[in-house]
């Protein structure tokens, strides 16, 4: 999965998405802070490949993107909108292929602009990145080649506080960065950072009105934070092999960035530091039970402004949840299965 699979909808209910065989399943709180529904299949009976990208707009709507098999050896991308976590998502609708037709080219990424339009990015057959965008009155714009070269899998798409879209992608020995110069414009390749980077470790977060921050792990296992226009800052050693997830929160009156990652021994580790002040340092603290080896972690903020962390095992469907307690510091409730 690519993106934040744990979300808080506009009705205040938390929702979660998981892959299961040839389907995407969704679960939701029956009410804010209440029990959870059983998993239900998202988007109808259409068979899918085991890949999912999730993005959420300021309106609270979730946008899901996956690949579906078409002709033998070929696939096409599909999209669904989920307006309320406890309701069924819309049926999957086709949005095409970056090269018109062919096999899967990579894991998509999706971000939603201030107008509520989903922007879908995916590697193309030429090794660059292609994009399609929802039209304001329905349907999708033609695919556009945003260029790039030797792009590796799992790009990171993010919506800045301005409502404009940015995209990061790893390439051998570096990271590429695209950005919209104005709302509705095509993202432009703005900067290339030379840095050793592990593919599949990118995660982007809006951290101020003018900046987004990219988190990535380098070849030595160090976790870095990078804001385009500046040098990357080393934060701490990554707790595990995959990407971190991150959320903004207020800790003891300070705007902080909270990171979470599945550790090498399959627990969840947390670290927090003042937002955009990496020089203050950060330290991991492990929490919760040992997880399945395929477990993934996500962070969200609930209706009451509390940070929520979730761990999900796609192989078992087991979903564990914890919330921050209403007290100083980063004290968490006991993890519980829902």
User: Is 48 domain-assigned?
Assistant: yes
User: Is 21 domain-assigned?
Assistant: yes
User: Is 258 domain-assigned?
Assistant: yes
pLDDT at position 317 is 86
Q: Domain of 281?
A: 2-108+207-337
Domain count, the chain: 1
pLDDT at position 34 is 82
User: Is 120 domain-assigned?
Assistant: no
How far apart are alpha carbons 126 and 241 in whole angstroms? Answer: 28
> Tens digit of pLDDT per residue, the chain (338 long)?
999 999 999 889 999 999 999 999 999 999 877 899 999 999 989 999 999 999 999 999 999 999 999 999 999 999 999 998 888 899 999 999 999 999 999 999 999 999 999 999 999 999 999 999 999 888 999 999 999 999 999 999 999 999 999 999 999 999 999 999 998 899 999 999 999 999 999 999 999 999 999 999 999 999 999 999 999 999 999 999 989 999 999 999 999 999 999 999 999 999 999 999 999 999 999 999 999 989 999 999 999 899 999 999 988 889 999 999 988 888 999 999 99
How many residues belong to the chain?
A: 338
- CATH code at 10? 2.115.10
């Amino acid at each position: 999965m690519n993106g934040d699979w744990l979300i808080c909808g506009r009705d205040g209910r938390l929702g979660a998405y998981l892959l299961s065989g040839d389907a995407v399943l969704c679960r939701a709180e029956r009410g804010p802070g209440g029990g959870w529904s059983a998993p239900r299949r998202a988007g109808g009976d259409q068979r899918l490949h085991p890949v999912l990208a999730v993005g959420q707009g300021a309106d609270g709507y979730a946008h899901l993107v996956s690949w579906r098999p078409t002709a033998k050896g070929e696939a096409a991308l599909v999209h669904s909108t989920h307006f309320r976590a406890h309701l069924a998502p819309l049926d999957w609708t086709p949005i095409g292929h970056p090269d018109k037709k062919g096999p899967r080219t990579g894991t998509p990424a999706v971000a939603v602009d201030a107008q509520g339009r989903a922007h879908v990015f995916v590697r193309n057959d030429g090794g660059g990145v292609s994009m399609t965008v929802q039209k304001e009155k329905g349907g999708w714009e033609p695919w556009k080649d945003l260029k790039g070269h030797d792009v590796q899998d799992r790009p990171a798409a993010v919506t800045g506080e301005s409502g404009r879209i940015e995209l990061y992608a790893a390439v051998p020995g570096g990271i590429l960065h695209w950005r919209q110069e104005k709302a509705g414009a095509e993202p432009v390749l703005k900067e290339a950072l030379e840095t050793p980077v592990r593919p599949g470790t990118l995660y982007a977060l809006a951290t101020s009105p003018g900046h987004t921050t990219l988190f990535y792990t380098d070849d030595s296992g160090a976790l870095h934070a990078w804001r385009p226009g500046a040098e990357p800052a080393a934060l701490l050693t990554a707790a595990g092999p995959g990407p971190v997830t991150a959320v903004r929160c207020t800790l003891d009156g300070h705007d902080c960035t909270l990171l979470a990652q599945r550790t090498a021994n399959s627990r969840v580790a947390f670290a927090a530091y003042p937002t955009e002040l990496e020089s203050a340092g950060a330290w991991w603290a492990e929490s919760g039970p040992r997880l399945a080896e395929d477990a993934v972690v996500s962070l969200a903020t609930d209706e009451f402004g509390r940070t929520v962390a979730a761990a999900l095992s796609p192989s078992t469907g087991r979903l564990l949840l914890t919330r921050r307690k209403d007290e100083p510091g980063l004290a968490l409730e006991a993890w519980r299965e829902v």
